[in-house]
Structure 1
Amino acid sequence: MPLWTDIRRSPVAAHVVPLAVFMLIGALQPLVGVENLQLPWWRHAPEHWIYPLQTLVAGGLLLAFRSHYQLAPWRRLGWAVGLGALGIVWWCGPALLYENFATSGTKVPEWMEWLGLAERKDGFDPSLFAGHGAAYAVVVLMRFIRMVVVVPLIEEIFWRGFLMRYVQADGDDFRKVPFGRHDWRTFGIVTGCFMAAHAPVDWVGALGFGALMYWLTVKFRSLAACVVMHAVANLLLGLYVMWTRQWGFW
């Protein structure tokens, strides 16, 4: 397959294709889902097969392109863990505040949704398989593999490994730009795109998280640290969602 061979050799494809395919598969959800609980689960809750499909396909692409990735140096991982925790507290804080308002009977103005103060009950709900033993365990496990392993890799390889350098390359080979080189225009573009990739209710959270990630990238110049920060944040988010049942976060 000459075309696939050419794609595998392309550094740009290696950094862009996994995330692009991941998002394309995710775009199937509103096309195939039907809000009718009388239908089989794979029709009214297609995320339960779309998310595992994303995980397997994107994970396979990461393996296929692995020779293009340079995660090292593995340094300042303690900072990565700490900033990941801080970032997810920032992201979830408004929803927790909303829950406190709702419990006390305080009406939250609609405009505050833009700050992240909103109910997060609708989303990927694994309790659909509660009582099914192994099926429930597999559903939860695959959800965590997606958000803690695959998503941090494909996103950081794209956002920090590629886009942050591509913007500064001005049409030249992005690999010539040192990883983590600071530029305010780049900060604005990458952080803005990162925000736009999320729902409006998450924009404030994405802004703060993106800013912390940018600082980590510029300060320590380690893609591995970026991946670890993202993975820790997503792990904590997953645990928070399982605890609070605010399924809308994932």
Structure 2
Amino acid sequence: MSTREKIQRWQNDRTLAHVVPLAVFMLFLMPFMFFDGAKWFRWEHPSAPWWQQWPEQWLYPLQSFVGLALLIFFRKHYELKWSKSVWFGALMGAVGIGFWLLPTTLYDWLGIDGKPEGVLKYLGVMPRTEGFDPGVFDSPAAYWASLILRFFRAVVIVSLVEEIFWRGFLMRFLLDRDGDYWKIPFGQPAWISYLVTTGAFMLAHAPVDYLGAFIYGSLTYFVAVRTKSLMACVVMHGVANLLMGCYALAYAKYGLW
């Protein structure tokens, strides 16, 4: 089999189309998840160039463009049809992110000093001030480029790769692991698909976000079952991440995104 034939075979695989984009996307996050904030890439020194001081400023855009390339490569497999149900998804995105942001908002309202430990930490009642900050750049052009690329990643790429996998693939796969799960219509309800998909979505996030991710994941499952629309889930995720990014910028809570 020639290289071209192998590529075409991969491109025609519906399962790969739903799994590979998120798998590759997560590989880019491994340095931050397992190597203490990408210390292998980072050199925190006044004379260090920006790409060593803040490796996330180039790693995240690279992650986004690779994800976009994979989504385009597998595009024929995605059931992304626009319908009236996307407006319901957008509404639920605003509701879901409200629950996600509530704990850190409570941190401010309660006037807590420092970083709480114990149960408050795992409920997300934290300051969330340390994280991705486009304000590290003095140049306005660099600031806006960083900000636009960050929103592009959060609103477009993350929404697509995650919903295509969690709701487009995993919800089906869990209902017929040994058979042809692609014959199962999108959004078919079952307790196993709800519990596993929502639980896995929650565990894919940091512990501080577990509560918000569980509530948000439950609402997304509800949207999938009610609308039978993958696009509604993608729009829900995009609206949620857009609002989260705006909130992070407005209140300097860069640890949220």
Q: Tell me, yes or no, whether TM beats 0.5.
A: yes
Selected match of 2:136 from 107, 110, 128: 128
Q: Please, which moves more after superposition, 9-18 or 108-117?
A: 108-117
Identical positions, percent = 43
Shift of 1:109: 5.1
Shift of 1:172: 1.5
TM-score, normalising length from structure 2?
Answer: 0.91
1:48 aligns with 2:51: no
Q: 1:101-140 counterparts in 2 under 5 A?
A: 101-102=110-111, 108=116, 110-129=118-137, 131-140=138-147
1:157 aligns with 2:164: yes
Counterpart secondary structure, 1:169: coil
Q: 1:139 to 1:187 in 2, by over 3 A?
A: same
Q: 1:72-221 counterparts in 2 under 5 A?
A: 72=81, 74-102=83-111, 108=116, 110-129=118-137, 131-221=138-228
Query: Per-residue displacement from partner, 1:181-230 (whole Å, max 9, x unpaired)?
Result: 00001100000000010000000000000000000110110011111111
> Which structure 2 segments of 5+ residues have no match?
33-37
Higher helix share: 1
Counterpart secondary structure, 1:27: helix
State whether residues 191 and 210 of structure 1, in contact with CA within 8 Å, keep that contact through their aligned partners in structure 2: yes
Mapped partners of 1:205, 1:195: distance in 2: 8
Which AA in structure 1 matches 2:139?
Answer: H
Q: 1:181 to 1:241 in 2, by over 3 A?
A: same
> Which structure 1 segments of 5+ residues have no match?
none
Which AA in structure 1 matches 2:14?
Answer: P
Number of matched pairs = 248
Mapped partners of 1:190, 1:197: distance in 2: 11
Residue 4 of structure 1 corresponds to 7
Q: 1:174 to 1:144 in 2, by over 3 A?
A: same
Q: Please, which moves more after superposition, 197-206 or 33-42?
A: 33-42
